[in-house]
Amino acid sequence: MELPDYVKARQRSKQVVEKEFYKLDDDLRQIGRGKKYFLKTYGCQMNEHDSENIKAMLEELAFEETDNYKEADLILLNTCSIRENAHNKAFGMLGRLKHVKEFNNPDLIVGLCGCMAQEEGVVNKIMNKYKWVNFVIGTHNLHRLPYVLNDSLQRQRQEIEVFSREGNIIEGIPVKRENAYKAYVNIIYGCDKFCTYCIVPYTRGKQRSRNPKDIVREVEELVRDGYQEVTLLGQNVNAYGKDFDYEYNMANLLEDVSKTGIKRIFFMTSHPWDFTDEMIDVIAKYDNIMPFIHLPVQSGSSRILKLMGRRYTKESYLALFDKIKEKIPRVSVSTDIIVGFPGEKEEDFLETIDLVNHCQYDNAYTFIYSPREKTPAAKLQDQVPEQVKEERLHRLNEVVNKYFLENNKKNIGDIYEVLVEGISEKKNELFGYTETKKLINFKGDEDLIGKIVNVRVTEAKTWSLDGEIVK
Ligand code: 5AD
Ligand code: SF4
């Protein structure tokens, strides 16, 4: 049994990160024969991509996927810690599963992985109140899933294997991609920013960049397999390469990935503090690097930004924003904003509204501040009352939504390259995303799915566009 420990999770060692290769013992390859698994994923794209690895690992053990948890022999929850409501969803699901296990299927194996597995409080609760959960496996040792699962099949006791310190980068974990045209590619794991509200540096560990050669090779393989689009993933992709003992950064990586010839490249998430002029130039220069940037601001008040530990001010953020808008043709920018951070006063909130009025974002994810276990912000005295947070969120949403619609209206008549992803259920039309990552619906032949077509925008809504194919 190995339990999570926040003191260790906070430490950042200078130890060099090595590369290891995923291995699977042959005698495990049949442990899932005749059995079905159900995997539920919560949270961000990192988790979605981890789930693609989990599925492939389970299928190498001969498990078969089901989308009905009631007929599963193995249920795995890939969880998220970012806000309290993510926790609540996972615990709610565990409550339902207890019922299934008690009344329908006593042999059901239930496992929990993802960020919640790295939290001391969660693991203690599972050990004390959820004794029927079969295993918990952490984010740093996910590649050991076959072994932890095998142990819990063999032994009648709860298995907990959570490493608090990140280990090496594991290459060669199998992957079952959800989509045949667009793929996620990890470029950097962990985060060293320690924004005071955020739990990620504890649950995902120290910043570790993947070797550029491995990334380029993976993208080349994707090109060969017919993929049109990659999204380069990391909690803070702009810090890419900072942990190398040689000079190689995110701008270099973007350039090298661009040269693989993949048709479309997206990347996320970018911390404003690490965004360099060199990156802006590279994005502007290469046609296959999409003009879309997710640039979380979190707050428009420099005072609150300081308390958040964000390392930039309202003014320096706006200077970066304006430069991006000026230098990258047709760029669209989205953001994340938190309201109700401890100590946020009405005047701080109005600074956020003022910033939004300047930036007029194409998209924004807005959140109510949620105190996270043992993070510095959770210990601040001046917590904002729930009602005030909700009221601010509502006011903020009205402003951001107004700009989504206004910007979309400005796109009417423009022609975009769209990767056709499928048929929308509601309208029986094709749908896809523009280079600027806007959802667009249009009429067309099913054969176009997986292809890139030119689409002219004909109508604008708050959350999507309508268009027509241009021959
Ligand atoms: N409360 C609310 N929102 C948070 N985020 C991160 N931590 C918290 C928290 N404790 C938001 C940030 C981040 C996004 C992924 O989630 O806006 O950019
Ligand atoms: Fe969390 Fe992002 Fe800040 Fe890292 S940069 S601590 S992931 S909000």
The CB of 373 under 6 Å from ligand 1? The reply is no
CATH of 415-469, one of 3.40.50.300, 2.40.50.140, 3.40.50.460, 3.40.1550.10: 2.40.50.140
pLDDT attached to residue 426: 73
Residue range(s) of every CATH 3.80.30.20 domain in the chain: 174-410
Best mutation site among 83, 85, 356 for ligand 1 pocket (most ligand atoms within 8 Å of CB): 83
Would the pLDDT of 223 be above 80?
yes
The rounded distance, in Å, linking the Cα atoms of 462 and 413 is 17
pLDDT digits (tens, 9 = 90+) for 290-328: 999 999 999 999 999 999 999 999 999 999 999 999 999
Would the pLDDT of 355 be above 90?
yes
The CB of 292 under 6 Å from ligand 1? The reply is no
The sign of the torsion formed by the CA atoms of 163, 164, 167, 170 equals: positive
Token look-up 């939004």 returns 356
Does the N-terminal peptide bond of residue 269 adopt cis geometry, omega within 30 degrees of 0?
yes
Instruction: Residue 308: count other Cβ atoms within 10 Å of its Cβ.
Output: 22
198 CA closest ligand 1 atom index: 7
Average pLDDT for residues 114-119, to the nearest whole number?
Answer: 96
Amino acid symbol at 352:
T
Confidence of residue 18 (pLDDT cuts 50, 70, 90): confident
- Share the mean pLDDT of the chain: 95
**Going by CA atoms, what residue is nearest to atom 1 of ligand 2?**
198
Number of alpha carbons in the 13 Å side-chain half-sphere of residue 369: 29
Classified as helix, coil or strand, 47 is helix
Does the N-terminal peptide bond of residue 462 adopt cis geometry, omega within 30 degrees of 0?
no
Residues linked to residue 130 through DSSP beta bridges, in sequence order: none
Residues linked to residue 20 through DSSP beta bridges, in sequence order: 170
pLDDT digits (tens, 9 = 90+) for 27-49: 999 999 999 999 999 999 999 99
- Cα of 9 vs centre of ligand 1, distance in Å, is 19
Would the pLDDT of 241 be above 90?
yes
Strand duo 74-79 + 169-171: pairing: unpaired
- Cα of 178 vs centre of ligand 2, distance in Å, is 26
Residues lining ligand 2, Cβ inside 6 A: 191, 193-195, 198, 200-201, 235-236, 271
The rounded distance, in Å, linking the Cα atoms of 81 and 289 is 31
The CB of 135 under 6 Å from ligand 1? The reply is no
The CB of 82 under 6 Å from ligand 1? The reply is yes
Is 0.85 topped by the overall pTM? yes
The rounded distance, in Å, linking the Cα atoms of 116 and 118 is 5
Confidence of residue 12 (pLDDT cuts 50, 70, 90): confident
Tokens in use for 150?
């095998």
Helical segments of 346-452, H only: 346-359, 386-410
204 CA closest ligand 2 atom index: 7
372 CA closest ligand 1 atom index: 10
Residue 90 near residue 116, CB atoms below 8 Å:
yes
Confidence of residue 124 (pLDDT cuts 50, 70, 90): very high
Instruction: Residue 194: count other Cβ atoms within 10 Å of its Cβ.
Output: 14
Would the pLDDT of 269 be above 90?
yes
The rounded distance, in Å, linking the Cα atoms of 50 and 34 is 24
Domain 174-410 carries which CATH code?
A: 3.80.30.20
Domain 6-161 carries which CATH code?
A: 3.40.50.12160
Instruction: Residue 299: count other Cβ atoms within 10 Å of its Cβ.
Output: 25
pLDDT attached to residue 428: 84
Residue range(s) of every CATH 3.40.50.12160 domain in the chain: 6-161
The CB of 203 under 6 Å from ligand 1? The reply is no
Confidence of residue 407 (pLDDT cuts 50, 70, 90): very high
**Going by CA atoms, what residue is nearest to atom 14 of ligand 1?**
336
- Cα of 367 vs centre of ligand 1, distance in Å, is 7
Residue range(s) of every CATH 2.40.50.140 domain in the chain: 415-469
Amino acid symbol at 463:
W
